[in-house]
Amino acid sequence: MIFDLKTTDKDTKARAGVITTDHGTIETPIFMPVGTVGTVKSVHQSELKDEINPDIILGNTYHLYLRPTTDILEQAGGLHKFMNWDRNILTDSGGYQVYSLAERRKITEEGVKFQSHIDGSYHFFSPESVMEIQRSIGADIIMAFDECPAAQSSYTYTKNSMEMTHRWLKRCVAHLEKVPPKYDYNQSLFPIVQGGVFKDLRKQSAEFISEIGADGNAIGGLSVGEPAEVMYEMTDLVCDVLPKDKPRYLMGVGTPINILENIALGVDMFDCVMPTRNARNGMLFTAHGTINIKNKKWENDFSPIDEMGITFVDTMYSKAYLRHLFASKELLGKQIASIHNLGFYLWLVREARKHILDGTFSTWKTQMVNQMNKRL
């Protein structure tokens, strides 16, 4: 993997770059649509490519391991072939999902024992097994196995957890060297900065992670319940430590405003279920604010969903029609809203990139944050 940092904004810490992998280039800043089990929910691969047009999408190791299973993915020749997606894929490590299981998992130094949310069967993830699973899935970017402590965790818990995450990282790196890629392209491991909401721990973790010399670095354990201002403070602090010549990925963030604010702090990559999950609940993100399309006020508004027309759905369907689909619990409603929201997220990061490149990011960002903060 090569990262070519094109420019850093003069007024903020925002960066524009290009990542090159064996599956092509990724222009940063980038938002990665989440394709949990090998499908970006309710969106055809062709729509994803032609309408939403991300250079990279995300898959979830935990979900893919349970279904369709690594065995099937290996027989298919990896996730790219299985789902018919020839651009980049990143997989998380399964850590976040496993920890969300709460009562259904037990963490030890060796790894995590957990019960499947599907059938209650027992499984064990270790840094080593998660590396092997990610070799089988075959994403271009794979994540180190980490513990993601809850937002309200104590200093002591967070410190111990972070130190274990660091030890696990060493095991991930060591094991990957023993297990070569299964397919005919390279995979890059991104380690994950942890440390909760504690500045000294975040700094310590960022320093540890930086020394690994990975192709890219991730920031985990944020957007888990803490106030946005605290998240920004942590991101800022961590980005100041992480190497400038490697892409930085802020995991699981966030709203369009969160994304612009974090771009301004030096983050290059994002993922979040919000555009698709909120879409399925009838919430639309636009450049002029959010829309709850279930609201009665849209009942006879026959104007297009979004005059900007970023994707085909925006001008093909009216707000009144989309509201009717949600009122009638029709699947097409979820499909339309998902394409719209993802189209908007990708538009937003592409616009951010343009403004970083032409030196107008800061004023543009301020204007966009004001606009997007409204409820329509």
Point out the residues that are catalytic. 92, 271
Minimum CB–partner distance for residue 362 and a second copy (Å):
39
Q: Among the candidate windows 127-135, 230-238, 314-322, 347-355, which touches a second copy by CB under 8 A? A: 314-322
Q: Does 330 bind a second copy (CB under 8 A)?
A: yes
Residues ≥6 apart with Cβ < 8 Å to 64: 37, 38, 70, 73, 79, 91, 133, 137
Q: Does 97 bind a second copy (CB under 8 A)?
A: no
Minimum CB–partner distance for residue 35 and a second copy (Å):
10
Q: Which residues of 18-49 are buried (b: 16+ CB within 10 A; e: fewer)?
A: bbebebeebbbbbbbbbbbebebbbbebebbb
Measured CA to CA in angstroms, residue 246 lies from 156, 172, 218, 358 at distances of 30, 19, 10, 22
Beta carbons within 10 angstroms of residue 333's beta carbon: 24
Q: Among the candidate windows 63-71, 100-108, 189-197, 250-258, which touches a second copy by CB under 8 A? A: 63-71
* Secondary structure class of 286 (helix, strand, coil): strand
Q: Does 331 bind a second copy (CB under 8 A)?
A: yes
Q: Among the candidate windows 76-84, 102-110, 262-270, 347-355, which touches a second copy by CB under 8 A? A: 76-84
Q: Does 321 bind a second copy (CB under 8 A)?
A: yes
Residue of 110, 299, 307, 358 interacting with a second copy (CB under 8 A) = 299
Binding mask 334-373 for a second copy (x = CB under 8 A): xxx-------------------------------------
Residue of 2, 6, 50, 72 interacting with a second copy (CB under 8 A) = 72
Residues ≥6 apart with Cβ < 8 Å to 186: 1, 21, 22, 140
Residues ≥6 apart with Cβ < 8 Å to 161: 147, 149, 153, 194
Task: Please answer whether residues 280 and 367 qualify as being in contact, where contact means their C-beta atoms are separated by less than 8 angstroms.
Answer: no
Give Cα 205 distance to the centre of its chain: 20
- What are phi and psi for residue 93, nearest 5 degrees? -95, -5
Q: Does 46 bind a second copy (CB under 8 A)?
A: yes
Task: Please answer whether residues 145 and 94 qualify as being in contact, where contact means their C-beta atoms are separated by less than 8 angstroms.
Answer: yes
Residue of 151, 212, 228, 320 interacting with a second copy (CB under 8 A) = 320
Residue of 75, 108, 186, 367 interacting with a second copy (CB under 8 A) = 75
Give the total of residues touching a second copy (CB under 8 A). Answer: 39
Residue closest to 352 by CA, chosen among 246, 251, 220, 257: 257
Residue of 42, 134, 217, 223 interacting with a second copy (CB under 8 A) = 42
Task: Please answer whether residues 85 and 45 qualify as being in contact, where contact means their C-beta atoms are separated by less than 8 angstroms.
Answer: yes
Query: How far apart are the C-alpha atoms of 153 and 200, rounded to whole Å?
Result: 15
Residue of 67, 117, 199, 374 interacting with a second copy (CB under 8 A) = 67
Nearer to a second copy, 67 or 374 (CB): 67
Minimum CB–partner distance for residue 318 and a second copy (Å):
8
Give Cα 69 distance to the centre of its chain: 22
Task: Please answer whether residues 161 and 193 qualify as being in contact, where contact means their C-beta atoms are separated by less than 8 angstroms.
Answer: no
Minimum CB–partner distance for residue 333 and a second copy (Å):
8
Residue of 168, 317, 344, 347 interacting with a second copy (CB under 8 A) = 317
Residue of 318, 351, 371, 376 interacting with a second copy (CB under 8 A) = 318
Binding site for a second copy (CB under 8 A): 37-39, 41-46, 63, 67-68, 72, 75-76, 81-84, 299-300, 302, 312-313, 316-318, 320-321, 324-325, 327-328, 330-332, 334-336
